[in-house]
Amino acid sequence: MRLSTQTIQDHNTQLDARHQAALKRCREALDEIGVDAEVLISKIEALSIAIPSWAMGAGGTRFGRFSIGGEPASLEQKLYDVAIINDLTASAKSVSLHIPWDIPRDLQQSKSLAADLGLTFDAINSNSFQDQKDQGHSYRHGSLSSNVKAAQRQAIDHNIEVINLGEALGSKALTVWLADGSNFPGQVDLRAALSRTRDALQEIYAAMPADWTLLVEYKAYEPNFYSTVIADWGTSVYLAESCGDRAHTLVDLGHHLPNTNIEQIVATLMMRGRLGGFHFNDSKYGDDDLTCGSVKPYQLFLIFNELVQGMLDDPSSEPAWMIDASHNIKDPLEDLIQSLDAILLAYAKALCINRSILAEARTNNDVVHCQEIIQSAFLMDLRPILQEARVRAGAAISPIQLYRSAKIREQLIKERGHMTQATGL
């Protein structure tokens, strides 16, 4: 199903007066601090975050999964779901596939459907953390790091197939997340496992087209609970450097030890030219995969503070943006809309930081003033800017409100049934 342009316009018309008043107030507030609202709006319009194909279904934990009806059962249906989100928000113009969950039955058809829906294919993800039915060799003891030659070979070949598939679809990057590691002290030769991973990544890197990027994700723990081969950014950068200039680190916000200063990692990676991409989500304890900005909105803002600064310094350094959340008790589409909103809001606020005054306060080591500058941007209410950016792009002032009033989930259930289950976690 699609939302008609008319439906969206009707919604916007209805909310227009209220929106205009709020926008006017927001413009005045921005004027006060010397920020050009138009520039802000256009930058917000320009940002698009990729939606992972696996995020359209209800997620779960090892303790269970509570289905929501109308989940997409095929790649085609997933593309339609992303299109709905993009119609409502105008900030989700691409999809990030996960192979083998999303192998297209018909490549050309998928490609043209995506084009029709106004979507492109972002970084493509391989999967060597689960065994698939009738898989030749198990990943029980690892994939790229495995000391079982045949299993490692299979994992390398799988990644190369994913590259080929991605190339056919127009992707320009491969994201590799390895679950490889160990559960018990002594279980693996830690150095040998890292060496094998490096060698395997080099082979995958060599198989990429010349305009592709390799994104090496790291994660502190889970599903392995003693060691993880690519446990931190330092290891990821080492592997990226071992591969070549087009290998970069991918940061997933939930993949860190308690209390990690993630924004500092982002700054360091940008300084070293190795920040390749982002998986946005939020968490309180571990890789909780909660809605972006739902638990630590200030941290999200501080990360964007670094990103904005880094992109100002080097515009070519913009990373690949992606959401990677899991929706255990929310309607996944609503959840994704909330995530997009939180990301855009953090970005907008980071754009409002007065960087020349901040630079001066830092030069003077005026710590109190630095905090005031940073926080005064965070405290701005910029929701009207996001609304206006959506209006201009033909999207909805209040996406969730429209999603509900247009009874989209109900229609999806009618179309697809109550019992479908999307592939993914």
Tokens representing 97 are 């596939």
Do β-strands 181-182 and 124-125 pair in parallel, antiparallel, or remain unpaired?
A: unpaired
Report the distance separating Cα 330 and Cα 1, nearest Å.
20
Distance of CA 355 to the CA centre of its chain: 26
Q: Is 130 in the site for a copy of itself (CB under 8 A)?
A: yes
Report the distance separating Cα 132 and Cα 143, nearest Å.
13
What minimum distance in Å lies between the beta carbon of 354 and a copy of itself? 11
Q: Is 360 in the site for a copy of itself (CB under 8 A)?
A: no
Q: Judged by CB, which is closer to a copy of itself: 170, or 273?
A: 273
Report the distance separating Cα 252 and Cα 236, nearest Å.
12
**Considering only CA atoms, which of 57, 83, 85, 86 is closest in space to residue 71?**
57
What minimum distance in Å lies between the beta carbon of 298 and a copy of itself? 5
DSSP of 209-251: -TT-EEEEE--SSSS-SSEETT-SHHHHHHHHHHH-TTEEEEE
Which of 1, 29, 113, 207 forms a contact with a copy of itself (CB under 8 A)?
A: 29
* Residues near a copy of itself (CB under 8 A), total: 107
Angle, alpha carbons 204-326-51 (nearest 5°): 60
Residues 273 to 332 in contact with a copy of itself, rule: CB under 8 A: 283-286, 288, 290-291, 293-298, 302, 305-306, 309-310, 328-331
What minimum distance in Å lies between the beta carbon of 89 and a copy of itself? 15
Which of 9, 13, 183, 411 forms a contact with a copy of itself (CB under 8 A)?
A: 183
Which of 43, 172, 246, 383 forms a contact with a copy of itself (CB under 8 A)?
A: 383
What minimum distance in Å lies between the beta carbon of 287 and a copy of itself? 9
Tally the residues of the chain: 425
Q: Is 100 in the site for a copy of itself (CB under 8 A)?
A: no
Interface with a copy of itself by CB under 8 A: which range of 15-23, 35-43, 71-79, 209-217?
15-23
Cis? peptide before 223, omega within 30° of 0: yes
Q: Is 119 in the site for a copy of itself (CB under 8 A)?
A: no
φ/ψ bin of 58: left (φ > 0), alpha (ψ from -120 to 50), beta (otherwise): beta
Q: Is 425 in the site for a copy of itself (CB under 8 A)?
A: yes
Q: Is 225 in the site for a copy of itself (CB under 8 A)?
A: yes
What minimum distance in Å lies between the beta carbon of 180 and a copy of itself? 12
Which of 268, 357, 393, 409 forms a contact with a copy of itself (CB under 8 A)?
A: 268
